[in-house]
Structure 1
Amino acid sequence: MEKKDEQLIIEYQQGNDENALVTLFNRYKTHILNFALRILGNRADAEDVTSDCFLTLFKKRYIYRAKVKFSTWLFTVARNLCINRIRKRKKLGSMWFKKDSNNYEQWDVTDEKDAADTELEKTEASIMVRKAILKLAEEQKEALILREYHNMNYAEISQIMNCSLEKVKILIFRAREQLKIELSSFVLEGEND
């Protein structure tokens, strides 16, 4: 039987059980990496954020509270690290990933259930979705990614983003509406082919 996150944390804190920490790392590393990758758009930065996130867990040690799940706490740490990374980029005056760039291979957005007939169509659709997501306002992008790619509920997103439940609902609604607008021309092009 698989141990719960909180049980692993307690084991780690009480006896410095490194196996518990390794289990948590293996359980969440891909989720955190994908989240950071979608926010930052750069694999190297996303890997750094993932490492820093687990380093924070190691140094600060999550304190179990019934109100906040471990996964929510971990995604909050990852989000804050992403925000810090974006601020650092802006201070340096350069961005690693330009919105107009055609270099999208570092993303992992395509869905295995995609109904596209060919790999080319899948790739094209994936690129269009990524471009549309990049055009979203930062908060809309974060909320949408947490909801759609990490299957979090509105309450968890609210805690991670430190905002009201209503604001999360509005952000996701607006993000979806913006994506509909951005992707409508792509859908119409496909129908005309």
Structure 2
Amino acid sequence: LEAVQNGEDLLELIIELTMEEKDIDYLQPLCEKIAIERAGADANIGDFVYNANVGRNELFEAMCELNVSARELKPIMAQIHTCFDKLIYYTVLKYSEIISKNLEEKQQYINETHKERLTILGQMSASFVHEFRNPLTSIMGFVKLLKADHPSLSYLDIISHELDQLNFRISQFLLVSKKEMWNES
């Protein structure tokens, strides 16, 4: 229904432009309307180009059936060609602008969402590591008690060393997390 209305609007504009020799840029509002409709419907712009050219051919076939000499038709046909060329050009141009803008907005939304997820992940990681440190401290304390009670058990030195390394890595992670939070604020 909307396509029929657009076709009728276009035909009226072409007749007006060829009769009154107005500037062909009067087509631009119709082109923008069509581009907005096609982009909003997520329609292929190639279909519009094809249909516009079919409309042009139909118009020329109908004109050839008139009792008018080729000499008289030639300038009118040239104007019609120009009208259709500009119609297609401006519509595709506006459609491309709309689609590009939509893609940029979607990309920006994805980037913002990704940043938010990374921030949440960082906060969760810092919280997890902080909570992990509590039982680690308890284990380190019990290893020291075991070493005091059983100084001859050599594997307690290895366990103590590994726990110290783990505690050091946790401290590094928490330090980096705090620096990143300071940089964000």
* TM-score class, shorter: under 0.3
Bigger fraction of residues in helix: 2
Q: Give the alignment's TM-score, normalised by structure 2.
A: 0.24
Greater Rg over alpha carbons, structure: 2
